[in-house]
């Protein structure tokens, strides 16, 4: 015969067993989620060792490397749904690595002041509103503006719209430079068979400045060839040589690089200059595509001058956002 005390004892034992099972299950569940969480951690730690020999996969990875951090909240939600302590703890590894790589980028490093503002914009050869784009650039307060992807039909429009704010300008091929200060020694920079880069000496009130405007060749991603960036990479090497050999050491280089500052293929340029966005920006400053920016491919790089602040401008009729920076000369 079973007594009430025995039944109560068994019920109590069963409750304790269920609790222990739940506690044990928290550690046993979610091992797959934990394993998947290690993949973004490995990509972030080993991205420099991902080879470019096949399809430039290394460069493609580095272009979108900040986005690997999205895996952490997504997998964390899965871990919570599974009530897996193991997965949640494992996800701290990619989270810590991401913060180590990009945490400083999230800090607002902008300051007030600066001797002058420089701006750059790929205006898009299909821009339906070049006049509005010109007005937006004037409103930025930039003293020096580099434009990329100019077309023969749009050039007269930009020249007319910008003439009132910028007394000096020069165009070489599909790139142009507008300046409030006198320009001299303007010439094309041979990075391709046709002109997609120029260099000019700008006489600012704070000293002589060499300004480069460049539009590196476009890249494509397709299943057959992967990340087709070989032409861009070769042009980057030629641009780097031109910047390195320039006799004026105070230098600003602006333009559409079709690549991020973290892309190893652009290291010939980025290793000898500072990114204004990295040094004095707030966040990643993604500039492309304008509708939903995913990468900072429009750059303002400096040498011999100090970045004070860096930002993106509101969208225009282009598929790129304009970028701007104030600098101390």
Q: Is residue 279 part of a domain?
A: yes
Res 27: pLDDT: 61
**Same structural domain, 285 and 137:** yes
296 within 8 A of 261, measured Cβ to Cβ: yes
Q: Is residue 323 part of a domain?
A: yes
Res 26: pLDDT: 59
**Over residues 241-253, mean pLDDT:** 97
Res 82: pLDDT: 87
Q: How confident is the model at residue 63 (pLDDT cuts 50, 70, 90)?
A: very high
- Residue 162 CA to residue 83 CA, distance in Å, equals 60
**Over residues 146-159, mean pLDDT:** 98
- Lowest mean pLDDT, pick from 56-60, 195-199, 224-228: 224-228
**Same structural domain, 156 and 266:** yes
**What is the per-residue pLDDT across 102-147, written as a single tens digit (0 to 9) for each?**
999 999 999 999 999 999 999 999 999 999 999 999 999 999 999 9
Q: Is residue 78 part of a domain?
A: yes
**Same structural domain, 128 and 85:** no
Q: Is residue 111 part of a domain?
A: no
**Same structural domain, 136 and 280:** yes
Give me the CATH number covering residue 250: 3.60.10.10
**What is the per-residue pLDDT across 220-246, written as a single tens digit (0 to 9) for each?**
766 555 567 889 999 999 999 999 999
Secondary structure in 3-state letters for 125-141: CCCCCHHHHHHHHHHCC
**Over residues 165-188, mean pLDDT:** 98
Q: Percent of the chain scored above 90 by pLDDT? A: 81
Res 130: pLDDT: 98
Q: Which two tokens stand for residue 260?
A: 């991020």
**Same structural domain, 231 and 130:** yes
Q: Which of 46, 73, 106 is the last residue of a domain?
A: 106
Q: Percent of the chain scored above 70 by pLDDT? A: 89
Q: Is residue 54 part of a domain?
A: yes
Q: Is residue 131 part of a domain?
A: yes
Q: Which of 48, 81, 106 is the last residue of a domain?
A: 106
Q: How confident is the model at residue 56 (pLDDT cuts 50, 70, 90)?
A: confident
Which residues in 52-70 are b (16+ Cβ under 10 Å) and which e? Answer: beebbebbbbbbebbebbe
**Same structural domain, 299 and 225:** yes
What domain range includes position 180?
116-328
**What is the per-residue pLDDT across 65-115, written as a single tens digit (0 to 9) for each?**
999 999 999 999 999 998 898 899 999 999 999 999 999 999 999 999 999
**Same structural domain, 191 and 309:** yes
Q: How confident is the model at residue 252 (pLDDT cuts 50, 70, 90)?
A: very high
**Same structural domain, 188 and 284:** yes
**Same structural domain, 44 and 163:** no
Res 7: pLDDT: 46
- Residue 261 CA to residue 106 CA, distance in Å, equals 16
Res 226: pLDDT: 58
- Lowest mean pLDDT, pick from 11-15, 149-153, 207-211: 11-15
What is the number of structural domains in the chain?
2
- Residue 190 CA to residue 187 CA, distance in Å, equals 9
- Residue 309 CA to residue 290 CA, distance in Å, equals 21
**Same structural domain, 154 and 269:** yes
Mean per-residue pLDDT of the chain: 91
In the predicted structure, residue 279 carries a pLDDT above the cut 50 = yes
Q: What stretch of H or E contains 160?
A: helix 155-162
């Amino acid at each position: 015969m079973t007594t009430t005390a025995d039944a109560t004892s068994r019920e109590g034992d069963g409750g304790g067993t269920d609790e222990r099972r739940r506690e044990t299950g928290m550690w046993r569940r979610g091992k797959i989620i934990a394993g998947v969480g290690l993949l973004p951690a490995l990509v972030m730690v080993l991205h420099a060792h991902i080879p470019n020999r096949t399809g430039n996969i290394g460069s493609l990875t580095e272009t979108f490397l900040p986005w690997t951090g999205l895996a952490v909240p997504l997998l964390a939600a899965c871990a919570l749904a599974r009530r897996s302590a193991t997965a949640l703890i494992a996800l701290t590894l990619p989270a810590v690595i991401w913060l180590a790589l990009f945490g400083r980028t999230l800090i607002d490093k902008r300051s007030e002041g600066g001797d002058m503002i420089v701006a750059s914009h790929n205006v898009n050869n299909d821009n339906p509103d070049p006049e509005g784009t010109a007005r937006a650039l004037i409103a930025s307060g930039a003293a020096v503006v580099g434009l990329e992807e100019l077309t023969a039909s749009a050039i007269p429009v930009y020249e007319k719209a910008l003439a009132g704010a910028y007394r000096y300008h020069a165009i070489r091929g599909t790139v142009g430079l507008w300046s409030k200060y006198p320009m001299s020694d303007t010439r094309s920079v041979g990075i391709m068979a046709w002109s997609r880069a120029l260099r000019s000496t700008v006489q600012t009130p704070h000293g002589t400045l060499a300004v480069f405007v460049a539009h590196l060749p476009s890249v494509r991603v397709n299943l057959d060839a992967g990340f087709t960036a070989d032409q861009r990479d070769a042009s980057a090497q030629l641009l780097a040589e031109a910047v390195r050999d320039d006799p004026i050491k105070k230098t600003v280089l602006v333009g559409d690089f079709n690549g991020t500052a973290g892309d190893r293929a652009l290291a010939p340029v980025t290793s000898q200059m500072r990114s204004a966005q990295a040094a004095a920006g707030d966040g990643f400053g993604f500039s492309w595509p304008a509708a939903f920016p995913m990468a900072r491919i429009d750059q303002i790089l400096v040498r011999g001058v100090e970045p004070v602040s860096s930002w993106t401008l509101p969208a225009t009729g282009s598929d790129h956002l304009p970028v701007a920076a104030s600098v101390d000369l």
